Structure 1
Amino acid sequence: MYVSYGVGIAFAVATYVILLFLGVADNPLTIFIAIVAVLA
């Protein structure tokens, strides 16, 4: 369970980094939606 949780965090961070690189992470709502989509 902890492993899957760690993987989820890793994916969330990776998603944030990708969005930041694409320049669309300036919107907090976008970040929130991305994290929720990954963890859902």
Structure 2
Amino acid sequence: MESANDHKAHNRTYGSFISMLKWSVPLIAVITLIVVILIAE
């Protein structure tokens, strides 16, 4: 059974999450801006 303190797996998961966050937040912001501009016209 895996140890409850599996730091390598934690670091890998956290790194993956942060990497995904770095790309998804700006992408969502750009999509939101485009939609707002389209609605405002």
TM-score, scaled relative to structure 1: 0.51
Aligned residue-pair number = 24
Structure index of larger Rg: 2
Matched residues, percent identical?
Answer: 12
Q: Which runs of 4+ in 1 moved over 6 A?
A: none
Query: Larger relative contact order (C-alpha < 8 A, sep ≥ 6)?
Result: 1
Alpha-carbon separation, structure 2, partners of 1:11 and 1:17: 10
Q: Deviations over 1:2-35 (max 9, x none)?
A: 22121000100000000000017xxxxxxxxxxx
TM-score, scaled relative to structure 2: 0.50
